[in-house]
Copies of this chain bind each other. A is one copy, B any other.
Amino acid sequence: MTDEYYIKKTIEFAKKGMANNEGGPFGAIIVKDDKIVGRGNNKVTSLKDPTAHAEIVAIRDACKNLNSFQLDGCVIYSSCEPCPMCLGAIYWARPDRLVFASSKDDASKVGFDDSFIYEELDLPVAKRKIETTQIMRDEANILFEIWSDKDNKIDY
Residues of A near any B CB (own CB < 8 A): 3-4, 7-8, 10-11, 14-15, 18, 21, 23-27, 44-45, 47-51, 56, 59-60, 63-64, 67-71, 79-81, 83-103, 106-107, 109-111, 114, 116-118, 120-122, 125, 130-137, 139-144, 146-148, 150, 152-156
| Complex contact A132–B97 (CB within 8 A) | yes
| Complex contact A134–B69 (CB within 8 A) | no
Q: Which residues of B contact A144 (CB under 8 A)?
A: 25, 102, 106-107, 109-110
* Complex CA distance for A136 and B80, rounded to whole angstroms: 10
* Complex CA distance for A3 and B132, rounded to whole angstroms: 12
| Complex contact B67–A48 (CB within 8 A) | yes
Give me 13 other A-B pairs in contact (C-beta within 8 A), A25-B143, A26-B143, A83-B88 excluded.
Answer: A14-B143, A18-B153, A50-B156, A51-B59, A79-B140, A79-B143, A84-B88, A85-B85, A88-B114, A88-B117, A91-B120, A101-B136, A102-B137
Copies of this chain, complex-wide, total: 2
Q: Which residues of B contact A142 (CB under 8 A)?
A: 11
Partner of A24, one of B64, B68, B106, B156: B156
